[in-house]
Amino acid sequence: MQIMDALVRAQEAAAPEVGHGRLANYIPSLAAVDPRQFGMVIASCDGQVHVIGDADVRFSVQSISKVFTLTLVVAAEGERIWERVSREPSGNPFNSLLQLDQEVGRPRNPFINAGALVVTDRLHSLTGNACEALGDLLRRESGHDDVVSDPEVARSELEAGHRTSALAHLLASYGNLECPVDQVINQYVAQCAFSMTCRELALAGLFLARDGVLADGTRLLSARQTKRVNAVMLTCGTYDSAGEFAYRVGLPAKSGVGGGILAIIPDRGVACVWSPALGPTGSSAAGLAALDAFTTYSDWTVF
């Protein structure tokens, strides 16, 4: 089946889920988003881009940003980050304090909030400005100079981010932060507040389908490093529903509570889908249905 035909089938499969679920109402600015939106993009390694629906509407990328910050840290210093963060599925909510305390301040993986705080801390130490380094990568790979962090979303998330603050202080109590706690929290919130479209995110993530090669032909990650980032996405990228996501979709992916999901098809391309209403585990309900259908009706899967 042609990609565009599979995209249409994906949109049809997602339609019953669009608008059904909950918005991320613990972040006030995200609670105001119209939940009845849906967009999807397939960007292939050969340069083709296929779009459907609201694919050019910007939304808050939230935890999808964690893939890119992890990539920058791995690119800078290889395996060292794994001395501070594990690589196992959490089996618990993404903002669990209990699990972090039980495991003496070493987060279960880099995509839950505690793990992402550690990665952001390291990137901030390496670059002097983690958010700026992330923005440079996103702008360069998406081809859009106006991709920035939304200060209103960042402020909204910071004001409501009591658990994020608690996680950061708990990490610091175990000696697992290098930078001042307030700096890490501000950088983390700013990175989650980047606003992008499905098209921009898909293009930005294409290097993960090209064995780590950027749009200009230079290499950010080795093929081995790219494989490992994708592997962690497959096992940990959708929080405590990673098993169900792998069963239904069969792709490395990272979701965010803004309603976006970025999925990688190695050597083929990238899928990005967005619909703001979330299912019970914090990923887009319509997005999951769309990716399930797309991998069913196309041959774009790792299995």
Closest CA to 272 of 280, 281, 231, 284: 284
Domain presence at residue 55: yes
pLDDT of residue 1: 65
DSSP state of 149: B
Residue 188 is among the residues annotated as catalytic for this protein: yes
- Tokens 């962690």 sit on residue: 232
Average confidence (pLDDT) per 10 residues, the chain, 303 residues: 92 96 89 96 97 97 98 97 95 88 96 97 98 98 97 92 95 98 98 98 98 98 98 92 91 97 97 96 94 94 84
Domain presence at residue 229: yes
65-77 and 113-127 helices cross at what angle (nearest 10)? 50
Q: Exactly one of 29, 51, 60, 63 is catalytic; which is it?
A: 63
Give the residues across from 177 on adjacent strands: none
Domain presence at residue 302: no
Cα distance between residue 16 and residue 19, in whole Å: 8
Check which CATH number belongs to the domain holding 193 and give it: 3.40.710.10
For residue 163, give both structure tokens: 């658990």
Residue 257 is among the residues annotated as catalytic for this protein: yes
Domain presence at residue 136: yes
Domain presence at residue 119: yes
Amino acid at 104: V
CA angle 152, 156, 160 (to 5 degrees): 170
Domain of 235, in residue numbers: 3-297
Closest CA to 123 of 165, 86, 172, 84: 84
Cα distance between residue 132 and residue 55, in whole Å: 25
Domain presence at residue 241: yes
Q: Exactly one of 96, 142, 149, 239 is catalytic; which is it?
A: 239
Cα distance between residue 194 and residue 153, in whole Å: 9
44 in Cβ contact with 269 (< 8 Å): yes
Please state whether 45 falls in left (phi above 0), alpha (psi between -120 and 50) or beta: alpha
The answer for residues whose C-beta is within 8 angstroms of residue 195's C-beta and 6 or more apart is 58, 59, 60, 61, 147, 148, 149, 150, 153
Domain presence at residue 208: yes
Using CA atoms, how far residue 187 sits from 3, 29, 89, 92, 133, in Å, is: 38, 18, 24, 24, 11
Closest CA to 284 of 90, 14, 25: 14
Q: What total number of domains does the chain contain? A: 1
Q: Exactly one of 18, 60, 65, 66 is catalytic; which is it?
A: 66
Residue 254 is among the residues annotated as catalytic for this protein: no
Residue 63 is among the residues annotated as catalytic for this protein: yes
The answer for residues whose C-beta is within 8 angstroms of residue 41's C-beta and 6 or more apart is 49, 50, 51, 52, 55, 198, 199, 201, 202, 271, 272, 273
Q: Exactly one of 257, 270, 275, 283 is catalytic; which is it?
A: 257
Strand, coil or helix: 265 = strand
